[in-house]
A and B are shown apart, each in its own frame.
Chain A
Amino acid sequence: MDPECSRLLPALCAALADPGQPVADDTCLEKLLDWFKSITEAGSSLQLLRDSPCLVELLLQVPQAPGLSPRVLAFALRLAGLLAAQEACFQFLQQGELLPGLFGEAGPLGGAAWTAPTVRSGWIQGLRSLAQHPGALPFLAELGALDTVVALQGDSSLFVASAAGQLLAHILGLALGGQAEGPPGPPVCDWPASAQAVVGHLEEALSSPAAPRVTQALHVLTTTLGHCHRPWTQVLWARLSPLVARLLEKDPVPAAHSLVDLLLSVARSPALSSDRGWWETAAWALGHLRPAHAGPLALGLLTLQDCPQALSAQAFAVLLQPLACVLKATAQAPAPPGWPARPEGDPAAATLLSSRSACVGLLCQTLAHLELLQPLPQRPAPWPQAPLLGAALTVLRFCNGSAVPAPGSDVGSRLCAVLAGCARVQRAALSLLGALSEDAGPPELVTQVFAVLLDYLRSPDSSPTVLKKAFQATLQWLLSTPTPPGGCAPDPPAQPFLGELLPVLQRRLCSPCWEVRDSSLEFLTQLAGHWAGHAGFRHALLASEVPELARQLLQDPESYVRASAVTAVGQLASRGLHAGPERPGGPQKGALPELLGVLAADPEGFPRRAAMQVFTRWLRAGHAEAAADPERFVAGVLRAAGRDLDWEVRAQGLELGRAFLERVLGRAGPPCPYAVAAPEPAAPEPAAQALRAACRVRLPEFALRALFDCDRPVAREACALLLLLRDQAAPGHGLPEAGPAAAPVEAALQRWRAGEQAQLLGPLEPEAVLAVLRSLDLEGLRGALAESSDHVERNPQSLLQDMLATAGLRGDNEADCY
């Protein structure tokens, strides 16, 4: 602790212990605790107390001070716990009877202050910090803390209740920390008393008829078994697993959600999952839990690396059951291989037939689980791709009313009524459908996939969010469609689909709903990015109105749409799909003037940022509009970006400058393979030429001005760019005196530093730039800019001063009153 802090601390402690003083807010107290924590972690707590006796004083005064704010009380409890975490300090505090005074009956426990959740929370957190060494256990026992903690598990404040559960688990772990390694551990009856007490409590709660108590016990057990894999956990599980198994036999199973968490936590524990009995419990649970709970358990089991074959088959069947019901509801055919055979009368069907929310919830959960499982390497093999595709398609057909239920199927007619127009299920099913594109499917099913996707894209009833999902799924399927070498046309069924897709896209781009226009443009951007190489697609796109509509949307009233239109137009232009030669009679203007227009005139930031990104991408990819005359291009863009009020646009300007520098320095990547008339990469130029080029586009002026930008990210980027320029143009030079050429620049820098950003600087000569770059301490600047903006305010001294100032406020006010 530095001397200044040592000087301030006593006054602060006195202020905190004084009920009459206004208290600093929670954030300050938290910061103060963080500071103490960093001190105790770095050194001895005992030494801290000896150096700062005011802290002991504070801890002694707090329990006696009536009317003290609950926040300060909680702070003191947590501070005491933090200090007592070290055994030596614990002993020291114990000698002074300070800890019982804080945590025992003499403290806030049971008093009026106890009604404040903050105090209860502070009490638990204090004990949690304190209980780090075996010596703490007798202290806890003396306090009788265990009973209080057990009671606090049912606290009205969720934070307190959760912390109480964690403390119990921690106490158990601490009590058994000294156990010898290597199985089997001693039986529970030989465990330390505190551990036995916790186990006794858990046993009692697990046998209780009250579901909340069962839930609390399961939470403690889950925390314990999830974090500790020592041999004693096997003894604990052996003792408690019969009680857990008994819970599973009840109907309905109480606290099913927590039970699933526990089972999964056991499954992930290497110490426990080797037990054969456990797998039987899991199998039993899969068979007895309701589908809504069995689903998460099944998914958890399937994601395990070492799940036994039989159990994983059972879990997968549970997961597939609702979809099997869906398939069965529309078809008379027998279940496909690897698919649950008799879905009638099972719990999944019953859930689907029950309330609307249960039906929708189960289907959404199942679809989401399968989507999560699909990309995992440990997913069941063989993966039932075809039935899953069929089921996802059937769900989607139920949702748009086109599915015809099998005659006499109750589930079918129920699904018909419940799912019609249900956007939640539509989104989940479309997500799964998209994920399933990773695997191939039978051609006839893939044809159906495209047909259903087209229905959704076409349907006026698809809500904007559903439509977005449909676009995503469509893109995923289009990308997964194998394309023949030579890239002339995609395979059927994607080829006819593309033909029908463009008129739909055209209509969607004209939608009155901006979200629809926006996601249509995003889709168009991605579609063009992936398919621009296919002659058939190019031809169809250019023959359609789509590029023209995308261009018109640059004028959209919604800024998000304009931003997406900028990206789309940029993408189309870079792929030669913007107002191409196939459009006779149309204006043969490129996209550059239009996007420059957006950058210069758009009132919102998003479209301008999008335009800058497009320009940078163009320059990097060697797109014709940028490559024809890169210097003119970059100069034009920088001129517009330099005046921009949006810091991201200015930062993007620097990014463009970097791309330009890399290009002239000969580091440009390969030009885009789709670019129209791809130019030859610029020949590497010597550094001096690069500097001259940079000066011609007025990049140094832009970067120097940005160096003093009020937005730090811009300044940092500018600093990095200037460093690059200096290191390339004048490598190995020290910091010589600035020459006379640099004088006006220096003057301008002074003005900019003073915040007069409006001041302009004329074109710079390379020599002047070099001189300025050498004279500037760019490394130092980089270090300063790397500091976070509040680094001055974050030091402990400032914190203590702030808190003291708050405490002193009241006195000032009183003086004012007189």
Chain B
Amino acid sequence: MKLYCLSGHPTLPCNVLKFKSTTIMLDCGLDMTSTLNFLPLPLVQSPRLSNLPGWSLKDGNVFLDKELKECSGHVFVDSVPEFCLPETELIDLSTVDVILISNYHCMMALPYITEHTGFTGTVYATEPTVQIGRLLMEELVNFIERVPKAQSASVWKNKDVQRLLPSPLKDAVEVSTWRRCYSMQEVNSALSKIQLVGYSQKIELFGAVQVTPLSSGYALGSSNWIIQSHYEKVSYVSGSSLLTTHPQPMDQASLKNSDVLVLTGLTQIPTANPDGMVGEFFSNLALTVRNGGNVLVPCYPSGVIYDLLECLYQYIDSAGLSSIPFYFLSPVANSSLEFSQIFAEWLCHNKQAKVYLPEPPFPHAELIQTNKLKHYPSIHGDFSNDFRQPCVVFTGHPSLRFGDVVHFMELWGKSSLNTVIFTEPDFSYLEALAPYQPLAMKCIYCPIDTRLNFIQVSKLLKEVQPLHVVCPEQYTQPPPTQAHRMDLMIDCQPPPMSYRRAEVLALPFKRRYEKIEIMPELADSLVPMEIKPGISLATVSAVLHTKDNKHVLQPPPRPAPPAGGKKRKRVNDDIPDCKVLKPLLSGSIPVEQFVQTLEKHGFSDIKVEDTSKGHIVLLQEAETLIQIEEDSTHIICDNDEMLRVRLRDLVLKFLQKF
């Protein structure tokens, strides 16, 4: 059993598990942090961005000044943003049989895998995952395609050139594999390969293994996966949460008794408690708005935004914010808000109960009804007519490199009355802000990450008790900025096995058993013999038939009737055409009694040596030795067949035959 690790990002995993005869890809997350090296794509022509000076080498060489621009001491690539794909060389991805998706954030690389690697398998995911994943992809494609950029920079990627660049460009990994965004056509084609599944549904893969999604409590439709055969169980935990937010709670019990637990997608900000951060978010929001400033919240169109809107609903009146407009801008804003209301069965109990009242499960419906929350596909069109300030704007993309957020950063960045509040933990907020410097607006970092923290992981592992834990290497040491926080790493026994990008792990357990079925007629013919109380044995002569990874013992075929001669037919009628069976032996040889028997039979000068596996009985006179081990007995004597047979018969007296 092997694990191929194709992504180095612990929360955007992409691993391939080879288990029995199947090749299973676990998630295909897309690392978008590469886009931070690119200049933002402004929706409206930005004189500031278009007039940035080109970057030149120290020696004054300006051959890169078309590709690289300088802004406040940082260098950015002036090109269509590109993404860092999962490793494609480590394993032939056309051999992948299935892809299991755990949540909508972890499927963003799907089109790259299904459309460009010869993949012919099936993708499994829950319905909300697919629908919201589609929205995220649609938004991404829309953000990038609506700002066409003629230029595509490639010179800087040359290894010799990259060496000359300043950090972080110099240190960017695998830049040659970075790719531009996929198209909507590719998205549709990729999504068409998905087969929908429900929680606890058992899916047979070629009869060899069974995969089952379990609720993981992190997002709508998010799942952990159980991959099991008859005798082995692998759990894949990715992006789980124990907090009471909108999704169905995490199913922990089903993870018990795993041989291997692959653990990914823990919180990215282990020191920030989500409740405290929500409090911080609202305090800063209220403070800014009361001072007449605007608040910008760069966010994804689904996920934490639902919880934030729910808190907002409770808070809006008490904080005296009823008159402040809240805008949600995204090409998929409407679909996201609508979709969230129709996936009742995937929601937590409280929200499910509301559906029967009947009420919308999320209160943002009421916010929209009362005109407190308004949503638009983009800043163009209706929005520009309705826009009032001060206001609060939720919009993408959290990287601040594309999407409507770029426009608001340009618009509001110059005033210290305004605030940008970062809630998504996927991007470093300082790096995200770099191309907007110098910036007067206030920046608040309130990352809200509801995924498991290390205390919760340690409780989970105690509860679930897997034999082995496998996790990204980042989880096996404290974060580099807080090297003393030994509590911010996975602490379990035995210590977890860690992996990094482009590594292949041999998982530490051997498969020992395989289930074989016996056909009823064959079972009928068996005559078990009790050799010990409770243990019976029978010899089986059969044909092992293997198809679709199912093994069946069938009665041996009757021999073809001989060409003629009735005489022989009778003889062979019931006896298969095989050699006369030697009796099978069982039991163990008690050394002391054996020595006594030898003495009784006239052997003298017997010496017994203990070995690591058993005993050696030395007959010194006869220059013969008898090795008695757990599963074998050897009589070694030179050219004295008589002696050997005598000794063999003595040995056999201690064994049972059948």
Contact = CB atoms under 8 A, between A and B. Distances in A.
A281 interface: no
Given A401-B485, A404-B484, A459-B276, A512 B283 contact: yes
Interface in B249-283: 271-273, 276-280, 282-283
Contact of B487 (A404, A420, A511, A516): A420
A215 B84 CA distance: 70
A8 interface: no
A735 interface: no
Contacts of A556: 318
B480 to A, nearest CB: 14
A512 B290 contact: no
Contact of B484 (A405, A510, A516): A405
Interface in A521-558: 545, 548-549, 552, 555-558
Contacts of A461: 271-273, 276
Given A405-B484, A460-B272, A510-B287, 14 more contacts: A416-B485, A416-B487, A420-B487, A459-B276, A460-B277, A461-B276, A507-B284, A508-B283, A510-B283, A510-B319, A512-B318, A512-B319, A545-B290, A552-B290
Contacts of A405: 484
A462 B271 CA distance: 12
Given A405-B484, A417-B486, A512 B320 contact: no
Given A413-B486, A461-B276, A512-B315, A552 B320 contact: yes
Contacts of A506: 287
Interface string B308-322: 000100110111100
Interface in A70-108: none
Contact of A512 (B279, B446, B482, B486): B279
Sorted nearest first, the 9 A-B pairs with minimum C-beta distance are A460-B276, A417-B487, A460-B280, A510-B286, A557-B318, A510-B283, A461-B276, A507-B283, A512-B282
A421 interface: yes
A324 B278 CA distance: 37
Name, among B446, B485, B486, the residue most crowded by chain A CB atoms within 10 Å (CB to CB): B485
A425 to B, nearest CB: 14
Contacts of B311: 512
A423 B502 CA distance: 42
Contacts of A552: 290, 320
B384 interface: no
A318 B5 CA distance: 54
Given A460-B279, A507-B287, A420 B485 contact: yes
Contacts of B283: 507-508, 510-512
Given A417-B487, A420-B487, A461-B272, A545 B287 contact: yes
Interface string B347-384: 00000000000000000000000000000000000000
A511 B318 contact: no
For B273, B278, B314, which residue has the most chain A Cβ atoms within 10 angstroms?
A: B273
Contact of A462 (B276, B315, B319, B482): B276
A511 B271 CA distance: 20
A548 B287 CA distance: 11
Interface in A401-439: 401, 403-405, 412-413, 416-417, 420-421
Nearest to B444: A507
Interface in B309-346: 311, 314-315, 317-320
24 contacts: A403-B484, A416-B484, A417-B487, A460-B277, A460-B280, A460-B446, A461-B271, A461-B273, A461-B276, A506-B287, A507-B280, A510-B282, A510-B286, A510-B290, A511-B279, A512-B279, A512-B318, A513-B279, A545-B287, A545-B290, A552-B290, A552-B320, A557-B317, A557-B318
A462 to B, nearest CB: 7
A511 B276 CA distance: 10
Interface of B: 271-273, 276-280, 282-284, 286-287, 290-291, 311, 314-315, 317-320, 446, 482, 484-487
A555 B290 CA distance: 14
Interface of A: 401, 403-405, 412-413, 416-417, 420-421, 459-462, 506-508, 510-513, 516, 545, 548-549, 552, 555-558
- Dominant SS at the A interface? loop
Contacts of B484: 403-405, 412-413, 416
A549 B284 CA distance: 13
Given A405-B484, A416-B487, A558 B282 contact: no
Nearest to B487: A417
Contacts of A412: 484
A401 B291 contact: no
A219 B286 CA distance: 59
A404 B319 CA distance: 39
Contacts of B282: 510-512
Contacts of B287: 506-507, 510, 545
A462 B272 CA distance: 11
A508 B276 CA distance: 12
A219 B317 CA distance: 58
Nearest to A407: B484
A474 B163 CA distance: 52
Contact of A549 (B290, B317, B318): B290
A548 B279 CA distance: 20
Contacts of A421: 273
A416 B491 CA distance: 14
Nearest to B282: A512
A417 B458 CA distance: 12
A347 to B, nearest CB: 24
A743 B403 CA distance: 83
A520 to B, nearest CB: 10
Nearest to A513: B279
Interface centre among B272, B278, B287, B317 (most CB of A within 10 A): B287
B476 to A, nearest CB: 15
Contacts of B286: 510
Contact of A416 (B276, B278, B284, B486): B486
Contact of B273 (A417, A460, A557): A460
A127 to B, nearest CB: 53
Contact of B278 (A404, A512, A516, A545): A512
B493 to A, nearest CB: 16
A401 B271 contact: yes
A112 B150 CA distance: 100
Contact of A555 (B279, B320, B446): B320
Contacts of A558: 318
Nearest to A414: B486
Contacts of A403: 484
Contacts of B280: 460, 507
Contacts of A545: 287, 290-291
Nearest to A508: B283
A552 B286 CA distance: 12
Contacts of B314: 512
B332 to A, nearest CB: 28
A506 B284 CA distance: 9
A459 B319 CA distance: 21
Nearest to B311: A512
A556 B315 CA distance: 11
Contacts of A516: 279
A441 to B, nearest CB: 26
A558 B559 CA distance: 91
Contacts of B487: 416-417, 420
Nearest to B312: A512
B269 to A, nearest CB: 11
A417 B501 CA distance: 29
A421 B455 CA distance: 11
A513 B276 CA distance: 10
Contacts of A555: 320
Contacts of B485: 401, 416, 420
Contacts of A416: 484-487
A421 B276 CA distance: 12
A363 B271 CA distance: 23
B282 to A, nearest CB: 4
B450 to A, nearest CB: 15
